[in-house]
Amino acid sequence: MRARTALYALGLLATSASAQVRHNSNAPIDFNAGTIELQDRANRAILTGGVNVRQADMTLEAQRMTVAYTGRITEGSPQVSRLDASGGVTVTRPSQRAKSQYAVYDLNRRLITMLGGVTLVEGVGNTVNGGRLTIDLDSGRATIDGSSVGTTKAPDGSVIRQGGRVTGRFSVPKRD
């Protein structure tokens, strides 16, 4: 019975993930931040202070973000190739929210990799924790593993999470 419940919950995650397939990685990227520093010779911009980036129906929030772009200009804008985010990173997509310490959005490969104290919440009540999360924006597949960047401690100093394991909770539908 438990195995069946776990498989059902995994099916819910898979259904939710397949609904994510429609992300448009070619959509324009809108941003706002406290400050921006343009480093044209290095083909990058550094955004700091409550950075919020939106592309189609996906939002990426962090305290600091480095935007790497190619030397090509299309329709008056540089072509962004990569976003590196740090400090309270949150990625929000329809029915999915992920948090971590760091994230890299590789626009060319259409992959988001999140590192350090990762928490992924899908739908209502489905939560998975680990060290590294990879989101494939083409397939909608989210993969999380136990790789760790440091440890997470509670306010009293006790260790809450230490590397190596993936943990979580799946919701179970109510039955009569």
pLDDT digits 0-9 by tens, 35-70: 999 998 899 999 999 999 999 999 999 999 999 998
The predicted structure's pLDDT at residue 74 = 72
Coil, strand, or helix at residue 175? Answer: coil
How far apart, in whole angstroms, are the C-alpha atoms of residue 127 and residue 49?
28
Domain range for 129 is 2-169
Q: What is the pLDDT of residues 93-107, one digit of tens each?
A: 988 999 999 999 999
C-alpha distances in Å from residue 47, one per residue of 21, 80, 113: 28, 14, 19
- Report yes or no on 175 lying in a domain: no
Is pLDDT at 10 greater than 70 in this prediction? no
- Report yes or no on 24 lying in a domain: yes
For the record, the structure tokens of 121 come out as 């919440």
- Report yes or no on 174 lying in a domain: no
For the record, the structure tokens of 169 come out as 């909770």
Q: What is the pLDDT of residues 107-118, one digit of tens each?
A: 999 999 999 999
- CATH code for the domain in which residue 46 is found: 2.60.450.10
- Report yes or no on 46 lying in a domain: yes
Q: What is the pLDDT of residues 136-151, one digit of tens each?
A: 999 888 899 887 555 5
Instruction: Indicate the range of 8-22, 67-81, 142-156 predicted with least confidence.
Output: 8-22
C-alpha 8, offset from chain centre: 24
The predicted structure's pLDDT at residue 151 = 58
Is pLDDT at 169 greater than 90 in this prediction? no
For the record, the structure tokens of 97 come out as 């929210």
Position of tokens 């069946």?
Answer: 4
How many structural domains compose the chain?
1
Instruction: State the pLDDT confidence band at 121, using cuts at 50, 70 and 90.
Output: very high
- Report yes or no on 176 lying in a domain: no
DSSP state of 150: S
